[in-house]
Amino acid sequence: MTTNPIDYKRVLDADGAPVAGETVPAIGRDLSLRMYRGMCETRMLDGKMLILQRQGRIGFVGTAIGLEAATIGSGAAFDAKDWIFPALREGGVAVYRGMPLLEYVGQMFLNIYDTSKGRQMNNHFQHAASNFVSWSSCIGTQLPHAVGAAHAARIKNENTVMCAYLGDGATSSPEFHSAMTMAAVWKAPVVFVCIDNGWAISVPSSRQSAAPSYGSKAEAYGMPGVDVDGNDILAVYRETLNMIRRARAGEGPGLVALKSYRMLGHSSSDDPTKYRDAQEVEMWRRRDPIERYRKYLLSLGWLDKISDEKIQKELESEIDAAVEANANAPRLALRALVEDVYSSVTPHLRAQHDELIRVLEQFGDPAAIEGRFPL
């Protein structure tokens, strides 16, 4: 990228004070606190999952630590009827929209509470009831899906807007190009939310693209793009909502690029010290999105020490209860091997399943699940 300064939209300064001349979104106390709770819940879930991972109770965690303003701020701007096509780190948005913690944690344990039936890798959340669509690990594949779903909404005369999340890395995928092209040509009601967290595993976002900024990528496709301070939840919310309103009014798609930072490794199997500077991480630690928003809420008197502690305690006991319930959950039945390949289990697959059962009965079942995921 060039060294020209990028105009990152901001509402709050580094200390959580409104920036002079910037419009603070008029969201009121309840929603403001709900978003705060969502950020804290996301962080606490990540922390608890990391502990479970270190204890060897779950296999893999890819956290959103440092990205809570970007995920929750954008996610909160969409309506319940809108659909979310997530990428790896938007699990907090699923919970914000109503995914039960029991299912969230179940997805990490890969047991009967996991609605994907233990098939997906960890951190691949879905919640159909709140229109949070199943994601595949294949980076970028969800983007044209969001465009198609948005176009369908137009054809059906529905007033729905689709949210397509992606990382900085995903902007290099062929699907990004296809999706941006089609969305703009069709004027599809879709908002692309690109979370530039500084890294695609070990590749810095500055080496992922030579465009002046991630937001600037929109222009050549014929849609508006905006670069936002992704650690400023109010700016994230405001700018995402602007794009959503345009899309809902039939004015077409937009790209919201959120500049933030992945505080931990790519996942629990990654050692980021191999490729990045501790000083850079330190610098971003001082820009913590939750701290910044907390200061803002404290300054308004919408939050105080006591109410904050209450929120943290509530979250902790809710998450602990979900972990507890999951720790004792039954394992998946072997049937899950052959279900959902087609609308019904074909005779061919039934025979393969029965054959396995026969072998297991004959030889006994060691069952111990071994092996760890490298990334």
Partner 1 sequence: MAKLTIISAVNDAIRTAMKHDPRVVVFGEDVGKKGGVFGATDKIQQEFGEARCFDTPLTEDGIVGAAIGMALNVLRPIAEIQFQDFIYPAFDQIVSELSKFRYRSGGQYTCPVVVRTPYGGGIRGGLYHSQSGEAFFCHIPGLQVVIPSTPYDTKGLLLSAVRGADPVIFMEPKRIYRDPSLAEEVPEEWYEVPIGKARIAREGSTISVICYGAMVPVCLQAAIEAEKRGISLEIVDLRTLLPLDEDAVLASARKTGRVIVVHEAPKYCGLGAEISALIAEEAVDSLEGPILRVAGFDTPFPNALENYYMPDARRVTDAVDRMMAF
Ligand X SMILES: Cc1ncc(C[n+]2csc(CCOP(=O)(O)OP(=O)(O)O)c2C)c(N)n1
* Residues engaged in binding ligand X (CB under 6 A): 88-89, 137-139, 167-170, 197, 199-201, 262, 266
> Helices 233-248 and 289-300 meet at what angle, rounded to 10?
90
Positive or negative, the CA dihedral 318, 319, 324, 329 is positive
Interaction between residue 352 and partner 1 (CB under 8 A): yes
Helix (H), strand (E) at residue 164: strand 162-167
CB under 8 Å to 211, separation ≥6 — which residues? Answer: 1, 217
Question: Of 258, 232, 231, 235, nearest to 163 (Cα)?
Answer: 258
Q: How far separated are the first and last CA of the chain, in Å rounded?
A: 27
Instruction: List the structure tokens of 338.
Output: 């052959």
Q: What is the nearest approach in angstroms of partner 1 to the Cβ of residue 182?
A: 17
Contact map string, positions 74 to 113, toward partner 1, x by CB under 8 A = ------------------------------------xx--
Least distance (Å) between residue 135 CB and partner 1: 10
Residue with tokens 């330190």: 282
> How many of the chain's residues bind partner 1 (CB under 8 A)?
57
Please give the C-alpha separations between residue 85 and each of 46, 126, 144, 146, in angstroms, as whole numbers.
Answer: 20, 9, 10, 6
Q: Is 211 in the site for partner 1 (CB under 8 A)?
A: no
Indicate which of partner 1, Mg ion, ligand X, none lies near residue 89 (CB less than 5 to 8 Å, by partner kind).
ligand X
- Residue pair 127/98 in contact (Cβ under 8 Å)? The answer is yes
- State both tokens at 337: 């091997």
Minimum distance of Mg ion from residue 173's CB (angstroms): 12
Q: Which does 278 bind (CB under 5 to 8 A by kind): ligand X, Mg ion, partner 1, none?
A: none
Amino acid at residue number 364: G
Q: Which does 362 bind (CB under 5 to 8 A by kind): Mg ion, ligand X, partner 1, none?
A: partner 1
Distance (Å, whole) CA 180 – CA 172: 12
| Total residues at interface with Mg ion (CB under 5 A) | 4
Nearer to ligand X, 357 or 375 (CB): 375
Binding flag, residue 273, partner 1 (CB under 8 A): no
SS3 call for 137 = coil
The CB-nearest residue to ligand X is 167
Residues 146 to 185 in contact with Mg ion, rule: CB under 5 A: 167-168
Based on the shown chain and the rule CB under 8 A, indicate whether residue 334 belongs to the binding site for partner 1. yes
CA distances from 94 to 42, 99, 298, 332 (A): 10, 5, 27, 23
Identify how many contiguous H helices and E strands the chain contains and give both numbers. 13, 7
Q: Which of 2, 275, 304, 313 binds partner 1 (CB under 8 A)?
A: 275
Radius of gyration in angstroms for the set of CA atoms belonging to the chain, rounded to a whole number: 21
Compare residues 138 and 278 and give the one whose CB is closer to ligand X.
138
Nearer to ligand X, 139 or 322 (CB): 139
Residue 336 interacting with partner 1 (CB under 8 A) = yes
Of residues 194-223, which lie at the interface with Mg ion (CB under 5 A)? 197, 200
Number of residues in the chain:
375
Establish if 361 lies at the interface with partner 1 (CB under 8 A).
no
In 3D, which of 83, 76, 46 has the Cα closest to residue 61?
46
Q: Minimum distance from CB of 351 to partner 1 (Å)? A: 10
Find out whether 94 and 127 touch, Cβ atoms under 8 Å: yes
Q: Least distance from C-beta 313 to partner 1, angstroms?
A: 32
Q: Is 283 in the site for partner 1 (CB under 8 A)?
A: no
Nearest to 98 by CA among 150, 143, 38: 38
Which listed range, 2-10, 201-209, 301-309, 316-324, lies at the site for partner 1 (CB under 8 A)? 201-209
Binding site for Mg ion (CB under 5 A): 167-168, 197, 200
Binding site for partner 1 (CB under 8 A): 59-60, 110-111, 114, 118-122, 124, 136-140, 169-170, 172-175, 200-203, 207-209, 270, 274-275, 331-332, 334, 336-338, 341, 348-349, 352-353, 356, 359-360, 362-363, 367-375
